[in-house]
A and B are shown apart, each in its own frame.
Chain A
Amino acid sequence: MADRKFSKDHEWIEVDGAVGTIGITDYAQGQLGDVVFVELPEPGRKLAKGDAAAVVESVKAASEVYTPVSGEVTAGNQAIVDDPAKVNAEAEGGAWFFKVKLADPGELGGLMDRTAYDAFLKTLA
């Protein structure tokens, strides 16, 4: 888990080689409430850091999921499209959203590690 990084928009990314797996944090799913719909980016789509890449809709609101890094989408997690409840159950586990082939691994440097993210969450209370 050492490789996992977090954004201020409550996305997490875990990098394996050149490919990053991106999801939303447990805090984010808690704020959203029961997730009822997920829309993922098509593989092949080119994203710039901060672009709205996916949509997550709960009983309360629809929100965008921003990509914390630039790159090309290589895969989406069909399991959370078929069963959006997974996002609530395992946001930081099996309910990842999409994978990106990193354009610039240097962008990871601007993200937070677990300790820094936890401290960031405390400032939101």
Chain B
Amino acid sequence: MSTNPHGTITGNRGLQLEEPLIFEQGADGRSGVDLPEPPKVKSRLGGLERQGAIGLPGLSEPQAIRHYTRLSQKNYAIDAGMYPLGSCTMKHNPRLNEKLVRLGGLADLHPLQPVSTVQGALELIDTLAHWLKTLTGMPAVAMSPAAGAQGELCGVMAMKAAHDAKGNSKRVRILVPESAHGTNPATAAACGYQVEAIPADARGRVDLAALKARLGPDVAGIMITNPNTCGLFENDMIEIGRAVHAAGGFFYCDGANFNAIVGRVRPGDLGIDCMHINLHKTFSTPHGGGGPGSGPVVLSAALAPYAPLPWVVHGKDGFALVEQTEGTARSATGRLKAFHGQMGMFVRALAYMMSHGADGLRQAAGDAVLNANYVLARLSDVMSAPFPGPCMHEALFDDRFLNGSGVSTLDIAKAMIDEGFHPMTMYFPLVVHGAFLIEPTESESKASLDQFIAVMRGLAERVKKGDTDHFHQAPRYTPRRRLDETQAARKPVLRWRPPAPDKQAAE
């Protein structure tokens, strides 16, 4: 019998139950349902039928239920506690959204129904599009992109199509500041562009002089994340837009962090040509394993003709869907996705917008920024902030406060797990060393922020006292202790294999 760290007979630790893999529990002949023997039929698979046993584990119904219930209890979730990773991963999903998306008239639709039978659904897409255009101050929006990254792809494809239409084949380069999201250079490269980094200045923002020096006839456009990944507002946006347009390029804005400015700044007023909006970040749809993404892209008049299909129009017999490119309504981009976009996310996002109203959205952005600044202000004396505040929706710290302590950013994160907190984003953005990026979001109360701050202050004091062992041993209270991340990456065990037959028994 193997020993276990908790000294109990079962290996369980109170309500924390040890749970073997489902394959380790399986036994032949156990099943939750009785199925008849398959009838003997002549195989028409031409020799391609399975030769060996399929190897599914055999479990009774209560065993299977307990297995997944126990696994679910090992999860950390936004419904269980604060996520300092913030909206990138998960923020509170209001239950009203969930109630509305389950209404039969919306939940039971099929995308191939005749449009005369789905007028309400098309009106919903049209209304959400109206809100998105109004909130961003942009004339057009492509609703179909399936997630933020596909939204970026959509935007850059539209930029490329617009250049191609003008015969601008020499524009081979896209400029991406260091403070942008990592997906930005990936998107530009995926569209066949060469990517050139623009450095950040000492304020953590785009170095305007360096950017202007790089503009020229070889530049197709620029991709800027605003607020940027340091949680800072890029306050030269208008000047950047003017300079890029003067050089003949397009201005892409990564709108992932729109949640910090919605209702307060209209990106269209800053001179952008396109921006994707992550509905989960700004409009509270589920994400991070909880649901699919959705990344509508707002477009300027210059790029609107290159929007992907389909789009909703007000026809003479109600709402209609443009699914073919004909006449003036041409689309160089075609379709990015089957059907109309992530309908379930559209319903939730519109429920969030309409239940909050314009004033409520504005307040949510303000509260998100206030919460982040509260964290920044309360932790700046014990941790080290690379840039002076105020910040936007994210508070950024670096690892200077750990210098010489033998404790790393990773060690702090592990110790946070023992304190019952999911760690924040670590080692990103890359422009600061050993980054801690904390986004509390608008939905955390002052009490929950105070508890989080107390934990971080306590850990920082422990570092100061030289209690490095506490950090190197962490986490102590998890079902499994610290993983060997190096070996996990170098020699990953990717699947379960049945144990080798017992040699002694065989002999």
Contacts and interface: CB of A to CB of B under 8 A. Distances in A.
Contacts of B486: 34, 36, 59
Interface in B434-489: 485-486, 489
A85 interface: yes
B427 A85 contact: no
B430 A59 contact: no
Of the candidates A34, A37, A57, A84, the one having the most CB atoms from chain B within 10 angstroms of its own CB is A34
B490 interface: yes
Contacts of A119: none
Interface size class of A (residues with CB under 8 A): under 10
Contacts of B489: 34, 36-37, 57, 59
Contacts of A57: 489
B490 A84 contact: yes
A32 B475 CA distance: 23
Nearest to B486: A34
Interface size class of B (residues with CB under 8 A): under 10
A36 B492 CA distance: 11
Contacts of A79: none
A61 B430 CA distance: 9
Contacts, number: 17
A36 B490 contact: yes
A59 B489 CA distance: 7
Contacts of B430: 61
A45 interface: no
Interface string A70-86: 00000000000000110
Interface string B257-279: 00000000000000000000000
Contacts of B485: 34, 59
Contacts of A8: none
A3 to B, nearest CB: 31
A49 interface: no
- Give the secondary structure class of A's interface: loop
Nearest to A63: B430
B273 to A, nearest CB: 27
Nearest to B428: A61
Contacts of A85: 490
Interface in B407-448: 427, 430
Interface in A74-100: 84-85
A61 B427 contact: yes
Nearest to A51: B194
A85 B487 CA distance: 10
A36 B487 CA distance: 8
A49 to B, nearest CB: 15
A60 B490 contact: no
B488 to A, nearest CB: 9
A87 B490 CA distance: 13
Interface string A21-62: 000000000000010110000000000000000000101110
A85 B491 CA distance: 11
Nearest to B434: A60
A39 to B, nearest CB: 14
A60 B476 CA distance: 22
A58 to B, nearest CB: 8
A59 B427 CA distance: 11
A63 B48 CA distance: 44
B240 to A, nearest CB: 25
A85 B427 CA distance: 21
A60 B411 CA distance: 13
Contacts of A37: 489
B394 to A, nearest CB: 19
Of the candidates B427, B430, B486, the one having the most CB atoms from chain A within 10 angstroms of its own CB is B486
Contacts of A61: 427, 430
A25 B232 CA distance: 34
Contact of B427 (A36, A60, A84): A60
Contacts of A84: 490
A57 B485 CA distance: 13
Nearest to B409: A60
A34 B410 CA distance: 14
A59 to B, nearest CB: 5
Nearest to A34: B486
A93 B427 CA distance: 29
Nearest to B427: A60
A57 B430 CA distance: 14
A4 to B, nearest CB: 28
A84 B491 CA distance: 11
A85 B430 CA distance: 23
A9 to B, nearest CB: 12
A125 B427 CA distance: 18
A34 B427 CA distance: 15
Nearest to A85: B490
Nearest to A62: B182
A84 B487 CA distance: 11
Contacts of A59: 485-486, 489
Contacts of A36: 486, 489-490
Contacts of B427: 60-61
A34 B81 CA distance: 32
A60 B430 CA distance: 10
17 contacts: A34-B485, A34-B486, A34-B489, A34-B490, A36-B486, A36-B489, A36-B490, A37-B489, A57-B489, A59-B485, A59-B486, A59-B489, A60-B427, A61-B427, A61-B430, A84-B490, A85-B490
Given A37-B489, A61-B430, A84-B490, 12 more contacts: A34-B486, A34-B489, A34-B490, A36-B486, A36-B489, A36-B490, A57-B489, A59-B485, A59-B486, A59-B489, A61-B427, A85-B490
